[in-house]
Amino acid sequence: MSEMKEMIVNVVEKIFKDKVDKEKVDVVEEGKWAEDVWQVLQDNEMLAVAVSEENGGAGGDLDDLLNLYRLIGKYAVPIPFVETTFANVLLEKTGLNVTQEKATYAVEEQLNVSIDNGTVSGTIVNVPWARYVDELVVVAAGTSGLELVQVSLKDAAISPNMNLACEPRDTVTLVHAPVQQQTKITNEQLEYFIALESAAKSAAMSGAIDKAYELTVRYTKEREQFGRPIHRFQLVQQHLANLAGEAVITSSAIDNMIASIAQKCLQNEVAYTRIRIEEAAKIVAASAHQVHAAIGVTHEHSLHQYTRRLWSWREEGAGEAYWTKQLANRLMEVEDDSLWGYLTRTEKVFQL
């Protein structure tokens, strides 16, 4: 990371440390809106990271944004930061106008809405934060192919729902909602957006993995049993070693994935990262809870704010099932039985 990038990450981390604690996340889970967290990010222009300066943004890159998403996981930040910033990535990358409003998105293989005469209709489930935000960016079936469209959620019927972490995941029903703006996109663009979205979730999950690991290390130092801190027990040490391994592999996977995205030479990095992180999430959540024992499964303890996010986020966007299918298709095309050549191939695949 460049110094500039490091600075952005440090500033935002400090904001989250100050503003987002266990109680704040609890309150949001009960259905409140964390205006102070939103406001401070807006004041610091962090909502416009990765939007170019000519479009009124702060002029960062996608890699800055992905590094910030790690912090969303690490602090269980209860606002639609990923959603608003990613919606603007979609808008800007397709040449549409970015929005200054709070926004969310729905980017999936399966198309749930269609365009008819300048209006959008259909029902989309699991839309993050819909009830709290103003705009929705969604991929719709047009009369001649795919369209990326923006609609106002004032024109939608929203039925509140939530994921395992009590984050808003609403059902949005559109009946002839007027299109704010729209543009044609190709199948390849949709695939790329699905990959980026999956990368965003992986980044957020890696932050939650880091935090669950950190909490566990800290707990083994504080908690005493049989007259000594529990990190002195070899079976607990094995948990710590496994957790450290998953945390370090996850973090290095994200670094490498972000580097590939930044250099615009993505091959299978998003797929490998997401599959590996889902595996890490399973191992880390189980092991962190086992080490924390009973206290870790109480609502009072903060561990569940991270493990419930891991269990929720792994089900969202393109996950292991999607990526193993993609990889299997690609591996079927590997020439001359040379897996090693494939894994180390040198030609760069540029994406958009």
Partner 1 sequence: MFSLPTVQFTDEQEQFRLEVRAFLQEHLAKGTFKTKCDSWLSGSDPAFSKLIGEQGWIGLTWPKKYGGQERSTIDRYILTEEFLAVGAPVAAHWFADRQTGPLLMRFGTEEQREFFLPKIVKGECYFGIGLSEPNSGSDLASVKTRAEKVDGGWIINGSKTWTSNAHDAHYAVTLIRTEPLGEKKHDGLSQLIIDLHAEGVTIVPIKYLTGEHHFNEVFFDNVFVPDNMVVGTLGNGWKQGLAELAFERSGPERILSTFPLLDELIAGLKRQGDAAGMKEASKVLSRLWGLRNLSIGVAKVLEEGGEVAIPAALVKSIGTKFEQSIPEITRLLVRTYPRLEAERRIDRFMAESTLHAPGFTIRGGTSEVLYGMVAKGVVGQ
Would you say how long the chain is, in residues? 352
Closer to partner 1 at the Cβ: 263 or 298? 263
Q: How far is the CB of 74 from partner 1 (least distance, A)?
A: 11
Q: How large is the angle between the packed helices 187-222 and 81-93, nearest 10 degrees?
A: 160
**What CA–CA distances, in Å, run from 18 to 37, 77, 82, 205, 299?**
10, 12, 19, 21, 22
Q: Which two tokens stand for residue 311?
A: 């269990």
Q: At which residue do the structure tokens 């702060």 appear?
A: 58
Q: How far is the CB of 212 from partner 1 (least distance, A)?
A: 12
Closer to partner 1 at the Cβ: 150 or 250? 250
Closer to partner 1 at the Cβ: 112 or 202? 202
Closer to partner 1 at the Cβ: 132 or 323? 323
Q: How far is the CB of 273 from partner 1 (least distance, A)?
A: 8
Q: How far is the CB of 36 from partner 1 (least distance, A)?
A: 28
H/E stretch holding 156: strand 156-159
Helices and strands, number each (H, E), in the chain: 11, 9
Q: How far is the CB of 244 from partner 1 (least distance, A)?
A: 5
Under 8 Å between Cβ of 181 and 96: yes
Closer to partner 1 at the Cβ: 32 or 221? 221
| Angle made by CA atoms 66, 71, 73, in degrees to the nearest 5 | 100
Residues forming the site for partner 1 (CB under 8 A): 210, 217, 220-221, 231, 234, 236-238, 240-242, 244-245, 247-253, 255-256, 259, 263, 268-269, 271-273, 275-276, 279, 320, 323-325, 327-329, 331-332, 334, 337-341, 343-344, 346
Q: How far is the CB of 153 from partner 1 (least distance, A)?
A: 36
Those residues whose C-beta lies under 8 Å from the C-beta of residue 50, and which sit 6 or more positions away, are 57, 58, 60, 61, 62, 64, 65, 85, 88, 89
Q: How far is the CB of 237 from partner 1 (least distance, A)?
A: 3
The DSSP secondary structure of 175-244, one letter per residue, reads EEEEEEEEEEE-HHHHHHHHHHHHHHHHHHHHHHHHHHHHHHHHHHHH-EETTEEGGGSHHHHHHHHHHH
Closer to partner 1 at the Cβ: 135 or 246? 246
Closer to partner 1 at the Cβ: 149 or 253? 253
